[in-house]
Amino acid sequence: MSCPTNVVRALRARGAIVLLLFLMSLLQTLPASGQEAVRVDGRVLNSEGASLAGATVRIVGSGVDAITRGDGTFSLPRVLPGTHTLLIERLGYAQETQSISVDGEPEAITVVMNPSALEIGGLLVTGTLSEREAMEALRPTSVLRGQELQQRLKGTVAATVASEPGMAAATMGPGIAQPVIRGMSGDRVLMLEDGARVADVSNTHADHPTALDPTSARRIEVVRGPANLLYGSNALGGVVNVIRDEVPSSVPYHTGGSATGQAASVNAGYGVSGSTLVGVTENVPLRLEGTGRASKDLRTPVGDLVNTDAETWSASVGTGWVDEWGFVSGAVRTYRHDYGVPGGFAGGHTVGVRTEMERTSSKLRAQFNEPFGPFSSLQVDGLFSDYSHTEIETAGIVGTIFERTLGSGDVIARHEGWGPFSAGAIGGRMSWEDLGYRGQLSTPDSRRYTAAGFVFEEIDLKPVRLEAGLRYDWVQVDPGQEDPAAPIGHVRSRTFHAGSGSIGLLYDFAGGFTVGTSVAQAFRAPDVGELYSEGPHLATYSYEVGNPDLETEVGRGVDAFVRYGSDVIRAEVTGFYNDIDGYIYAENTGRISRVQLPIYQHQGNDALFTGFEGSLRWQFADGFELDGTGSYVRSTLTDTDQPLPLTPPLHGRVGLAYDRTTWFVHGETELAAEQTRVGEFEDATPGYTVYHLAGGVRLTLGGRLNVLTLSLENLTDEEYRNHLSRVKEIMPEAGRGLRLTYRVVF
């Protein structure tokens, strides 16, 4: 990366900090809220009366939380008068909720937690109007947190969530993975970080991982299906939201945080991360975070997958001003990921390609919780992101460079009871993006503008809840230069616009059963690469040709699910039907380019995705839990009745755990059927069965919760292949390996 570019990025980050500090000083002049907030103190105990350290106590819907200290005590600052719901979570114990009434100085609260092996899904914020239990969500969802997140934590977000219902990971080695939801990936899966888009180029090519490290995540939420109108109409597959609270929204009474260390034998990998939230003053929080990770080549049962070593580091700082009326906060993050793409394919480099990716982002969030007019709150978000991606050939020659600069603004105003509506929101989004291409690619530099507005309403008629939303998006793509005589067709400015909408119903039966269904229509505009790309992309060993005449994708989807929840069972089964007009994909033409690479050309054809997914968690005896998931998707090009390439087979997992409050052991079997429904120029992949074993301890040492997890993966050193792996022809998946994860909460 050139020195001038680094200087520009540093100045941009510094400018964001200066702007934030200016806003903080300005906000100090605002009049205080008419409501006087108080501090709520309490203590968390187990059923035997012993103090519990490391429990998280959260006021639902407020962003205010605390972690209990060694004596089990906690303090929640700035709690407004009224009735609130406390949510208390701690590894090895059942989730507890407690209603509190704040009027003046409340009495100290005591919470008693009972041991339980069943970890309930927790609160969900992605795709909802307000925080609510995952079991109450109208969309099929997964929440990965706590012990399960620590046990499944891997080097990429896609690999971490791959075992969830409806999920899979498309890979080109351990450091390159993209999430796949119901057979869809790329630009159809919206990647979020604390609810904000991740402005990278992972949606354009199979060798571009998401610029996110999951190590410091507090939880990861997945919402499956096309009805995510709060974030964007292009999320035909769904949304993955990595939540780490890097923009602080509250001031802690006591300093808290966590630190995580991880080591893995299968790639000689290691990583560390830590974050802390400090109250500088009663109005000013400070959040600091740092992450580092490194690994060597992946070991498989038949040898090493050469050129798959990787190194990642990330750091962020966030601060702001918090008052009774709300908060204005911001954060700056820098991220760098250097990794190798393995070689060995026809037309590819013998030893592969090296890639350097770097992202610097600045976020600003203002939330005003005092009512104004018909609205109960107003949230404004600003994002600026600068991203670069450089692919380097074996001789140190730069092959291709991708650059993306994004500036965006979002606003959402929420209301509570309003006529027939129990809750709702209205909002909008505007953004601009500069996309640059260098090296051997002939894709023209382009600029993309987007604007959108939406309304989302909810009617609660207990036991029935209805949700409905409408969104309108406008997208304009301008290439740097119009070229009517380009080999790929007439390269010109394109404008796309369309409406999206969804309607859903949830019915809560007595006895713990809930059924739900939703119908949605969403659209996606083709991205710049699909429109204008032209040239070799050595990391994926392909010569890519765009199509300037592509039209929008329009998807219509139907979901129907049934859930059951009790103190000992959580279960859900979902069926889905997604019909997409003009589905865009890169088709292998069977021809070889002048540089001896296979030619892939973007086409738009109608496609149909149907399937099901399910999950089960059952505490069938004291301490014993049975858990499992299953997923299946069938994808078809409707005009030719041919399967789409790289569609995951029927797959799932089943596990048995024995969990006590201070230790646990968990055995799991991962299964996949043979995939014989393959696209042109694609081979079938055999099924497989792989065994995993994990165990761990949870101890309170020095007044802090310490969690140590040891996992033995691929217990029998099975040679198996993931159908979604681009390198499955030359090497299988990872062999037997130990993974150690240690986490301390303070």
SS3 per-residue string spanning 88-152: EECCCECCEEEEEEECCCCCCEEEEECECCCCCCCEECCCCCCCEEHHHCCCCEEEEEHHHHHHH
Distance CA 135, CA 121 (A): 7
How many angstroms from the chain centroid is the CA of residue 472?
24
Among 510, 514, 421, CA closest to 467: 421
Q: Which amino acid is at 91?
A: L
The CA dihedral of 583, 586, 590, 592, to the nearest 10 degrees, is: 150
With beta carbons less than 8 A apart as the criterion, state whether 655 and 627 touch. Answer: yes
The CA dihedral of 174, 178, 184, 186, to the nearest 10 degrees, is: -140
Distance CA 639, CA 277 (A): 55
Question: Where are the alpha helices (H) located in 314-410, listed in sequence order?
Answer: none
With beta carbons less than 8 A apart as the criterion, state whether 628 and 654 touch. Answer: yes
298 CB-side CA count, 13 A: 22
145-175 burial, b if ≥16 CB within 10 A, otherwise e? bbbbbbbbbbbbbbbbbbbbbbbbbbbbbbb
The pLDDT-based confidence of 206 (bands split at 50, 70, 90) is confident
Distance CA 225, CA 234 (A): 11
Structure tokens at 315: 């750091």
Distance CA 696, CA 91 (A): 12
Q: Taking 50 as the threshold, does the pLDDT of residue 29 lie above it?
A: no
Q: pLDDT value at position 139?
A: 86
Among 165, 184, 228, 95, CA closest to 561: 165
Domain with CATH 2.60.40.10 in the chain: 36-113
Q: Which fold has domain 3-26+123-745?
A: Maltoporin; Chain A (2.40.170)
Structure tokens at 383: 């994002």
541 backbone dihedrals φ, ψ, rounded to 5°: 55, 50
Q: pLDDT value at position 344?
A: 67
Q: pLDDT value at position 227?
A: 62
The pLDDT-based confidence of 121 (bands split at 50, 70, 90) is low
* 40-44, 234-238, 697-701: range with lowest mean pLDDT: 234-238
Averaged pLDDT, 692-705: 94
Residues in contact with 427: Cβ distance below 8 Å, sequence separation at least 6, in sequence order? 230, 410, 411, 412, 413, 453, 454
Mean pLDDT of the chain: 89
The pLDDT-based confidence of 205 (bands split at 50, 70, 90) is confident
User: What is the SS3 assignment for 19?
Assistant: helix
* 7-21, 108-122, 485-499: range with lowest mean pLDDT: 7-21
Per-residue pLDDT tens over the stretch 345-389: 544 556 688 999 999 999 999 999 888 888 999 999 999 999 999
Domain with CATH 2.40.170.20 in the chain: 3-26+123-745
Among 495, 490, 487, CA closest to 451: 495
Q: Is the dihedral of CA 587, 448, 333, 133 positive or negative?
A: negative
- What's the predicted TM-score (pTM) here? 0.91
Q: pLDDT value at position 37?
A: 81
Averaged pLDDT, 2-26: 48
Does residue 648 or residue 132 have the better pLDDT? 648
Per-position DSSP letters for 655-708, written without gaps between them: EEEEE-SSEEEEEEEEEE--B----TT---B--EEEEEEEEEEEEEETTEEEEE
Per-residue pLDDT tens over the stretch 529-586: 899 988 776 666 678 889 999 999 999 999 999 999 998 999 999 999 999 999 998 8
SS3 per-residue string spanning 581-603: EEEEEEEEEEEECCCCCEEEEEE
Averaged pLDDT, 4-15: 47
Q: May I ask the CATH architecture of the domain 36-113?
A: Sandwich (2.60)
Q: Is the dihedral of CA 88, 93, 95, 99 positive or negative?
A: negative
Does residue 613 or residue 62 have the better pLDDT? 613
Highest mean pLDDT (candidates 134-148, 193-207, 688-702) = 688-702
